């Protein structure tokens, strides 16, 4: 295993920001990872574990060691006639893993097709799309405790999943590195989630009346491709902000001024699409210097010229936050990890 110095992270973050890591190495085995953590401990340097780099913004160079986690492998454990447990190592590409499950006719993850990133990072922010979140099919994960350097297994309850949230973003931040994730998937009588508006519309447009999991995945892929920029072509990290959740009273007050305000129930509160707030504030399609707000989905900030620095992207996001706050009295929260 090679440890490189002053390494450009441009190809390791989906924003394609040219930040540098003081040290960089790829960990393909657990032993590599442990060795790299010891390297960081001995030199008293911070470490950062990167999955696909699809939810991170480097606003400065990283003065520690960046570890690209490349543990690979998938194995299965039959439960009964209806369910199977599928274990995937962290370094597996998320979309390829979803495709693997669909080909094997394992149901559950099809609505989460084409989400960028790797298997190991999906529990951190409890990735979700089109009415499904990872927590709905999560069984457990194996983690490395960065203090003891021993492995532990965490189950669903241990992970405290919430909307784009988990223990890995809060009390256990930096404590664990996810080595593999186990999903509980159906092998027959799949529960199809096609109620999310855009999916049923897409299926109808394709003339599909009795969809299977593969049809749902294909519909999701078409919808995503029609709205979300491909990070390989235009640097971005998907949704830059979380959809804000506000008290009912605040929603009702806003609704008086904006009768067409889109909204979804979120417990006894109301979730409002940040994309709508940003669009109404005049940002959709706007470009300032190297950074822009995507013209088809205002929740996505793009590296418009490919030359943006992380600081420029961050400053652009601050302008959006100020503007939405001024217009609606709602403070947007960044979903992307800022470093």
Least separation in angstroms between CB 40 and ligand EPU: 29
Which pairs count as long-range contacts for 255-258, CB under 8 Å and 24+ apart, including other chains?
Answer: none
Least separation in angstroms between CB 333 and ligand EPU: 10
- Using the rule CB under 6 A, is 286 a contact of ligand EPU? no
Please identify which of the residues 14, 90, 239, 317 carries the catalytic annotation: 239
- Using the rule CB under 6 A, is 335 a contact of ligand EPU? yes
The residue within the footprint of ligand EPU, chosen from 108, 120, 275, 292 (CB under 6 A), is 275
DSSP 25: E
Please identify which of the residues 54, 92, 164, 312 carries the catalytic annotation: 164
Q: Are 161 and 147 in contact (CB under 8 A)?
A: no
Q: Are 310 and 59 in contact (CB under 8 A)?
A: yes
The residue within the footprint of ligand EPU, chosen from 299, 301, 324, 332 (CB under 6 A), is 299
Nearer residue to ligand EPU within complex by CB, 101 or 228:
228
Q: In this chain, which stretch among 11-19, 56-64, 177-185, 271-279 interacts with ligand EPU, using CB under 6 A?
A: 271-279
CA distance 237 to 55: 5
Q: Which residue is nearest to ligand EPU (CB)?
A: 238
Nearer residue to ligand EPU within complex by CB, 145 or 201:
201
The residue within the footprint of ligand EPU, chosen from 284, 312, 316, 317 (CB under 6 A), is 284
The residue within the footprint of ligand EPU, chosen from 46, 247, 262, 329 (CB under 6 A), is 262
Quick check: is 193 catalytic? no
For the stretch 97-128, what's the b/e string if a residue is b when 16 or more beta carbons lie within 10 angstroms of its beta carbon?
A: bbbbbbeeebbbbbbbbbbbbbbbbbbbbbbb
DSSP 23: E
- Using the rule CB under 6 A, is 243 a contact of ligand EPU? yes
- Using the rule CB under 6 A, is 298 a contact of ligand EPU? yes
Least separation in angstroms between CB 238 and ligand EPU: 2
Q: Are 48 and 7 in contact (CB under 8 A)?
A: no
Q: How many residues bind ligand EPU (CB under 6 A)?
A: 17
- Using the rule CB under 6 A, is 51 a contact of ligand EPU? no
Least separation in angstroms between CB 15 and ligand EPU: 12
Stretch 115-134: interaction string toward ligand EPU, x if CB under 6 A: --------------xx----
Q: Are 309 and 339 in contact (CB under 8 A)?
A: no
- Using the rule CB under 6 A, is 239 a contact of ligand EPU? yes
Quick check: is 224 catalytic? no
Complete DSSP assignment for 296-335: S-TTEEEESSS---HHHHHHHHHHHHHHHHHHHS----B-
The residue within the footprint of ligand EPU, chosen from 297, 303, 309, 317 (CB under 6 A), is 297
Q: Are 136 and 161 in contact (CB under 8 A)?
A: no
Quick one: which H or E segment has residue 184? strand 176-186
CA distance 198 to 205: 10
Compute CA distances 305 → 45, 208, 241, 320, whole Å. 33, 39, 21, 19
Q: What are phi and psi of 201, to 5 degrees?
A: -60, -45
Quick check: is 335 catalytic? yes
- Using the rule CB under 6 A, is 238 a contact of ligand EPU? yes
Stretch 73-112: interaction string toward ligand EPU, x if CB under 6 A: ----------------------------------------
CA distance 20 to 7: 5
Compute CA distances 155 → 53, 182, 248, whole Å. 25, 9, 33
Q: Give me the residues that bind ligand EPU (CB under 6 A), please.
A: 129-130, 228, 238-239, 242-243, 262, 273, 275-276, 279, 284, 297-299, 335
Residues with a catalytic annotation lie at: 164, 239, 335
């Amino acid at each position: 295993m090679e440890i490189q110095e002053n390494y450009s992270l441009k190809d390791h973050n989906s924003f394609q920001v040219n930040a540098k890591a003081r040290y960089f190495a790829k960990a393909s085995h657990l032993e590599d990872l442990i060795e790299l953590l010891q390297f960081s401990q001995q030199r008293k340097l911070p470490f950062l574990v990167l999955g696909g780099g699809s939810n991170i913004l480097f606003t400065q160079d990283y003065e520690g060691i960046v570890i690209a986690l490349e543990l690979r492998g998938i194995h299965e454990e039959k439960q009964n006639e209806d369910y199977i447990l599928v274990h995937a190592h962290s370094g597996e590409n998320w979309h390829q893993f979803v495709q693997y499950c669909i080909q094997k006719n394992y149901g559950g993850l099809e609505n989460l097709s084409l989400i960028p990133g790797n298997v190991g990072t999906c529990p951190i922010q409890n990735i979700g799309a089109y009415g499904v979140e990872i927590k709905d099919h999560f069984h457990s994960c194996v983690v490395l405790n960065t203090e003891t350097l021993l492995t532990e297994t965490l189950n669903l309850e241990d992970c405290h999943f919430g909307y784009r949230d988990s223990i890995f973003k809060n009390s256990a931040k930096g404590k664990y590195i996810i080595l593999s994730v186990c999903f509980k998937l159906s092998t027959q009588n799949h529960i199809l989630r096609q109620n999310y508006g855009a999916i049923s519309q897409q299926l109808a447009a394709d003339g599909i009346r009795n969809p299977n999991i593969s049809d749902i995945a294909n519909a999701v892929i078409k919808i995503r491709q029609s709205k979300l920029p491909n990070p390989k072509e235009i640097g971005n990290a998907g949704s830059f902000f979380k959809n804000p959740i506000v008290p009912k009273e605040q929603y009702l007050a806003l609704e008086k001024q904006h009768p067409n305000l889109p909204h979804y129930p979120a417990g006894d509160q109301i979730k409002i699409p940040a994309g709508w707030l940003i669009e109404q504030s005049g940002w959709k399609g706007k470009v300032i210097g190297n950074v822009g707000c995507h013209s088809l989905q205002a929740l996505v900030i793009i590296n418009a010229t490919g030359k943006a620095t992380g600081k420029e992207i961050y400053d652009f996001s601050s302008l959006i936050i100020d503007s939405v706050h001024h217009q609606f009295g709602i403070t947007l929260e960044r979903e992307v990890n800022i470093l």
